[in-house]
Amino acid sequence: MSLPIERARSRRPITWLTLIGVLLLPVVIGGILVAALYNPAERLDSINAAIVNDDEPVTINDQMVPLGRQLTAGLVKGSDDVDSNLTWTLSNADDAADGLADGTYDAVVTIPKNFSAAATSTQPGETPEQATIQVKTAPDSLVVDDAITAQVTQAAAALMGQQLSQVYLENVFLGFTTLGDKLGDAATGAQQLADGAQQAADGAAQLPSGATQLADGAGSLSSGATQLASGLDQIATGIGSAAGGAREIAGGIDQAAAGVQNQQLKDAANASASYAGTTATQTADVAKQVGGVAQSAGALAQTMGGLAQTCLASGASQAYCDQVGAAAASAGTLAQSAGGAAQAAVTAATSAGYANGYAAPTASGIAELMDKTSAGLTQLADGTRGLADGLDKLQSGTAQSADGARKLASGASQLSGGGDQLATGAQSLADGVAQLATGTSQLASGLDTAVAQIPSYTDAEAKSLADVVSDPVAAKGTGDSLFGASAIPLLATAALWFGGLATFVALQAVSRRALASRAPSAALAFRAFLPAAAIGALQGLLVAGVVQIAASYDWGTWSVFAALCVVAGVAFAAVNQALVAVFGGAGRWIAALIGAFLIATGVVSTVPAVLASIASILPTAPAYNGMVSALTSTSGVGAGFAGLIIWAVLAFIATVLAVVRRRTISARALIEPAVATA
């Protein structure tokens, strides 16, 4: 059954079959595109991929770590978040290469043999190395197959890396806790060391004062020992003189003893009595001097003994203290000798007194006492000579004591110098120990500060923190659709645009009767536009229906989308009519170019700015933008409706102008047919 609608490029009438074909063309195109491209993640199992696991497991802490096997299992089984995955096949290198060449496999994932070793190279003592896997796709793979395969394998590798990072970071965080504990122990030890060093510094600070006192005492000892040596020298000289006098007395006594037996006894007795008195007086004086020497020697012995007892306590050397002890012993011997000499002097003085007593009697008793007196004088002479010998020994001992005192003075002087040096060294030691105490205290304080700044974690806290740090940023709200939210608007706009193009491939844009018709040009243009507009509206409604079947939007969102599709179908019919009416067959070429711009600029945002600018002013732009706004609940739906209506009005005006041009003919055009007929 034919309809009163003019067919393009033919005078055959339009049939219902033609209209149905034109009406269903965008529906078929849109349905095919939506079915093939919408939500491809649900059909990843149609991609066949092979896994070649060449990994060699490693052993860590006596435990085998087969990370290549674990990655293979993760790829094959998927994850907790994604139930389905590619269709994986465990293979070897040769089979994978053959399968990739003959089309059995769309991709091959190869895990190299050093995968486990590289992935665990963060262990102490290892050289860090990044673990890698190789992905190879078939040379004849489809456009998006490479991206899908790479995304899946990268996700699996990233998950494996995240798990390894979690274990590593967990150990690091637990290491912080251990480090903090050890530094705390070190801080405690450093504080104890600082306390001990401070005590040592306090003790060392007292040492220079003691060493100075020792040096002063040793100096005083040296001066005293020098004075003692001088006094002992004088005593030794006096003792020598006393010894000479004692010998002279002994000689006189011997002569007296001999004279007792002489005829001149009386005179001799008288002389002896006189001499005995003198001798008694001198002997008494000698006894007093020797007693004083004995007392001085005793005091010297006590002083030297006290020095010997305190020598080691003063810090002097053992050799020096031994010399002081020997001097003390010599002083003791001197004291004993002086005591003996004093006793002998007393005895001599007593004997001299007796002699004086014997010499005093009258001359009548001299004869009777002659023998006894001679014998007593002889004994007195022997005692006096013994006194002289004792005084010689006392002189020698006193001289030795003087020498010892001089040595003591020299040693004490050396001790004084050493004490000064000891004081200087002790002061340096005190300063050094004080600096050590200060430095150790600062070390303890620094360690306490470090311990306070080092975090401490429990096992659970370390695991939780490692989970976050190993994957610090997560993207939520991202979809897995191939083209995202713009996929449906792009496909619907393209289907409706090419549907409008197909409409005026079949229908006539400007009536052939326009030249002979009496109807206004606008009416003629509208008469040609009306069936195309009806077809465009139905095309929009059908395309929206196909989209709802595929995507299942809520009815409020779908109703706005469907209205945009209907308006877009009508507007695209008007624009395609105008293109054909104004440019003829070239108008269809321009329409196809507009469709190409729509698809080229709607797939990815990285198109050149020039192409994007051109696409933004084309009649497809308001339809696409309005549909995206309708499905994403953003502003722009009103602008989409307004843009489509403006394009429809402008296109209809252009069509009217084209009809007006068709209804105008030049005189030459009328003359040429007439001439040809004649």
Quote the tokens at residue 657. Answer: 């102008």
Split at pLDDT 50, 70, 90, the class of 78 is: low
pLDDT higher than threshold 90 for residue 625:
yes
**What pLDDT is attached to residue 179?**
59
Q: What is the pLDDT, as a whole number, of residue 31? A: 54
Tell me: pLDDT of 652 over 90. Answer: yes
Least confident span in 235-239, 242-246, 256-260, 596-600: 256-260
Q: Is 340 helix (H, G, I), strand (E, B) or coil?
A: helix
Residues 6+ apart with CB under 8 A from 474: none
Residue-wise pLDDT tens digits, 165-214: 655 555 555 555 665 566 667 768 777 877 877 787 777 677 677 767 76
Structure token pair of residue 350: 């007593």
Distance CA 357, CA 350 (A): 10
CB 286 within 8 A of CB 348: yes
Burial of 513 (0-12, 13-18, 19+ CB in 10 A): exposed
For residues 653 and 574, is the Cβ–Cβ distance under 8 A? no
Please give the pLDDT value at position 317.
79
Distances (CA, A) of 508 to 12, 422, 525, 586: 11, 126, 11, 14
Please tell me which residue, 581 or 398, carries the higher pLDDT value: 581
Q: Binning pLDDT at 50, 70 and 90, where does residue 575 land? A: very high
Beta pairing, strands 58-60 & 63-65: antiparallel
So what's the pLDDT on residue 579? 92
pLDDT digits (tens, 9 = 90+) for 252-278: 767 766 665 656 656 665 666 676 678
Q: How far apart are CA 259 and CA 210, in angstroms?
A: 71
CA distances from 168 to 160, 179, 183, 365, 462 (A): 12, 16, 22, 133, 11
- Kindly tell me if the per-residue pLDDT of 676 is higher than 50: no
Over residues 240-248, the mean pLDDT reads: 73
- The whole-angstrom separation of Cα 100 and Cα 175 is 47
Widest CA span in the chain? 232
Q: Quick one: pLDDT at residue 362?
A: 46
Distance between CA 332 and CA 591 in Å, rounded? Answer: 141
Q: Alpha-carbon distance 395 to 290, whole Å?
A: 11
Per-residue confidence band for 288, with pLDDT thresholds at 50, 70 and 90:
confident
pLDDT at 561: 93
Phi/psi at 105 (nearest 5 deg)? Answer: -115, 140
User: Regarding the domain delimited by 42-185, which CATH topology (the fold level of the hierarchy) does it fall under?
Assistant: abc type-2 transporter like fold (3.40.1710)
CA distance 374 to 187: 99
Sequence spans of domains, the chain: 2-38+485-677, 42-185, 208-452
Q: What is the pLDDT of residues 136-176, one digit of tens each?
A: 776 655 445 555 666 566 666 666 666 666 555 555 555 55
Number of CB atoms found within 10 A of residue 104's CB: 15
Q: Are 376 and 436 in contact (CB under 8 A)?
A: no
Assigned token pair, 508: 């006539």
Residue (of 131, 138, 180) closest to 160 by Cα position: 131
Average pLDDT estimate for 546-564:
89
Question: What span, in angstroms and rounded, lies between the C-alpha atoms of 620 and 591?
Answer: 10
User: What percent of the chain has pLDDT above 70?
Assistant: 64
* 394 neighbors 337 (Cβ within 8 angstroms): yes
For residues 566 and 574, give the distance between their C-alpha atoms in angstroms, rounded to a whole number.
13
Three-state SS at 319: helix
Residues in a beta bridge with 60 = 63
Strands 58-60 and 107-111: unpaired
C-alpha distances (whole Å) from 96 to each of 73, 109, 505 are: 18, 9, 50
User: Between 163 and 60, where is the model more confident?
Assistant: 60
Distance CA 508, CA 577 (A): 8
Structure tokens at 515: 């030249």
Residue 618 has pLDDT above 90, yes or no: yes
Output the pLDDT for position 567.
Answer: 96
Q: Which residues are CB-contacts of 669 (< 8 A; sequence separation ≥ 6)?
A: none
> Is the C-alpha dihedral spanning 256, 260, 262, 263 positive or negative?
positive
* Assessment of whether the complete model's pTM goes beyond 0.85: no
pLDDT in tens, 306-362: 877 888 777 777 887 887 788 778 778 877 877 887 787 678 678 767 766 765 664
The answer to whether residue 19 scores a pLDDT higher than 70 is no
* Closest of 563, 541, 542 to residue 631, by C-alpha: 563
C-alpha span between 497 and 572 (Å, rounded): 6
Of all residues in the chain, the percent with pLDDT exceeding 90 is 10
Rounded CA separation 48/85 (Å): 10
pLDDT at 116 over 50: yes
Per-residue model confidence (pLDDT) at position 465 = 54
* Helix and strand element counts for the chain (H, E): 17, 8
Q: Read out DSSP for 240-278?
A: HHHHHHHHHHHHHHHHHHHHHTSTTHHHHHHHHHHHHHH
- Which run of H or E residues covers position 108? strand 107-111
Segment 73-102 shows an average pLDDT of 75
Phi, psi of 665 (to 5 degrees): -135, 145
Q: For residue 158, how many other CB atoms are within 10 A of its CB? A: 11
Q: State the alpha helices, DSSP H only, in 103-144.
A: 115-119
Report how far residue 418's alpha carbon sits from residue 424's, in angstroms, rounded to the nearest whole number: 10
CA dist 349 and 280 (Å) reads 6
Q: Which amino acid type is present at position 290?
A: V
DSSP summary character for residue 39: S
The length of the chain in residues reads 678
546, β-bridge pairs: none
Burial of 125 (0-12, 13-18, 19+ CB in 10 A): exposed
Distance between CA atoms of residues 344 and 246, nearest Å: 11
Q: What does the pLDDT read at residue 63? A: 80
Separation CA 199–CA 434 (nearest Å)? 9
Which run of H or of E encompasses 90?
strand 87-91
Q: Is the pLDDT of residue 217 over 80?
A: no
Instruction: Find the mean pLDDT for residues 386-409.
Output: 76
Tell the residue number behind the tokens 């005091």, with chain if given: 299
Q: Which residue has the higher pLDDT, 622 or 472?
A: 622
| Planar angle of CA 449, 450, 452, nearest 5 degrees | 65
3-state helix/strand/coil string of 567-604: HHHHHHHHHHHHHHHHHCHHHHHHHHHHHHHHHHHHHC
Tell me, what's the pLDDT at 399?
78
Q: How far apart are CA 18 and CA 27, in angstroms?
A: 15
